[in-house]
Homo-oligomer: A and B are copies of this chain.
Amino acid sequence: MFIRNAWYIAAWANEVSDTPLARRILNEPVVLFRDKEGKAGALADRCCHRAAPLSLGQVTDAGLQCGYHGLTFDCSGRCVAIPGQEKIPQKARVRSYPLVEKDEFLWIWMGEAEKADVSKILDYPYHNDYKKWPHKHGLYQVKCNYMLLVDNLMDLTHIGYIHGKTIGGSPMTHVQAEMETTPTDTGLKFTRWMPNSAPPPTYSKAVPFAGNVDRWQEFEYVAPTSIIQWSGAIDVGKEARTNRDQPGFSLKLFHGLTPETETTTFYFWSTANGYRQDDPEVTELLYQEIGKAFLEDKEIVEAQQKRITEMGEEALVDVVSDRARIHMRRTVERMLKEDGQAQAAA
C-alpha cells in the first residue's frame, strides 16, 4: 500500500539524460528521459503498441521512440509518430507522470495528476549552495519496505549498536541523549542533545576537538519519505545550544526514500560538509564514511524485512525509544487513509 498523491524522488537530476532510464516507482515501471531540449519526462515504461519497454528505445527529435517498431511519444505521453502510417489513433498514448526538477532532484507524482501541487515539493536549498554546503550524493537500492528505513531514522538508539565502529560512538551516549520531539505540519522534528560527551571516531577524525563536546542530531521528517538531518558538535563551554553556527563539526544529510516495490526502496542520500568547506577531500571523506554507515543500516533492515515478510509484525513490543517512530507511523497511516479516500472518490 502506497500513498499515491505525494511527491517522490524519481532520480537525481544528473542521472537522467537522452539515454532512457528504467526505474520502478510505487511498483510501476517508469521510463525517465530528457527530450532534445533537455526537458525531463516520465512515462509509463510500456509501449501502447505491443508492450515493449520504452526504456529500450531512443530519444529522437520527435520524442522517445520505441525500440521495437518505432512508435514515438512526447513528454506528455502522446504518440507523435507511427512509421508507415499517417493517421495516429487518439488512444495511442502512454501514461505520463508530472515531473519537476528542483534542488538536484527529479520529483515525480504518481497519483492523480490534477492534484500535483508543485508548491508542496520539499525545499532543500543546501543543494544549491555549494559554497556553504559542498556536497555529494548517492543512491542505494535497499531490499525492504521504505517504512523500515524511516523507522530506522526515527529511533536513533540503533546508532550505538549498528554504527559503533563508524559514526556511532558509545551506545550509552545515544541511549541517554536528551530528546525533544515537536510535531510539524508535514511530520515531526526532533533534536537529540548529547551534552559533554566524547566525540565519535568520525567526528574527531574530522575536527581537532579540545576534549568533550556538546553534540546534537536534528531530524526533520517530512512525510511521507524525506528526512533532513543536521548533526554536529562544538567544544563544551561554547553555548552550542543557543548558537550552532560556530566552528566545530557540522553536516547536513538528506535521506529520500522512494518505494520501488512493497519490499524494495531507493535510498537517495546526500552529505554536505559544513565544517571544512574549502577542502574537497573532506567532502569526499564525509561522503565515504556516511555511505559506509548506510550500508550497515541496509544490512539490518534487509534482514528485518525478511522476518517481517515471513512472520508479520505480530507480538512485537514497543519500547520507550520508539516514541518518534510511533508518531511518524501515525502520520503515515493518516495520510494513507486520506489517500485511499481520495482514490476511492476518484
A316 to B49, CA, bound (A): 5
Inside 8 A of A70's CB, which chain B residues have their CB?
A: 157, 160-161, 171, 175
Q: Which of the candidate stretches A1-9, A85-93, A123-131, A236-244 sits at the interface with the other chain? A: A85-93
Partner pick for A310 among B29, B82, B161, B299, CB 8 A cutoff:
B29
Inside 8 A of A317's CB, which chain B residues have their CB?
A: 48-49, 89, 91-92
Query: Is A345 interfacial (CB 8 A cutoff)?
Result: no
Inside 8 A of A172's CB, which chain B residues have their CB?
A: 83
Output the nearest chain B residue to A325 by Cβ-Cβ distance.
B50
Query: Is A67 interfacial (CB 8 A cutoff)?
Result: yes
Q: Which of the candidate stretches A35-43, A204-212, A301-309 sits at the interface with the other chain? A: A301-309
Q: Are the C-beta atoms of B84 and A157 separated by less than 8 Å?
A: yes
Considering only residues 133-172 of chain A, those with a C-beta below 8 Å from chain B are: 151, 155, 157-158, 160-162, 171-172
One digit per residue, 1 when the CB lies within 8 angstroms of any chain B CB and 0 when it does not, for chain A 232-263 equals 00000000000000000000000000000000
Inside 8 A of A82's CB, which chain B residues have their CB?
A: 319-320
Q: Are the C-beta atoms of B175 and A68 separated by less than 8 Å?
A: no
Q: Are the C-beta atoms of B155 and A69 separated by less than 8 Å?
A: yes
Query: Is A71 interfacial (CB 8 A cutoff)?
Result: yes
Q: List 26 A-B contacts (CB under 8 A).
A: A29-B307, A45-B307, A48-B315, A48-B317, A50-B151, A50-B316, A51-B308, A51-B311, A53-B303, A53-B307, A56-B300, A56-B303, A66-B161, A67-B161, A67-B300, A68-B158, A69-B157, A69-B319, A70-B157, A70-B171, A70-B175, A82-B319, A83-B160, A84-B175, A89-B317, A92-B317
Q: Which residues of A contact B (CB under 8 A)?
A: 29, 45-46, 48-53, 56, 65-71, 82-85, 89, 91-92, 151, 155, 157-158, 160-162, 171-172, 175-176, 299-300, 303-304, 306-308, 310-311, 313, 315-321
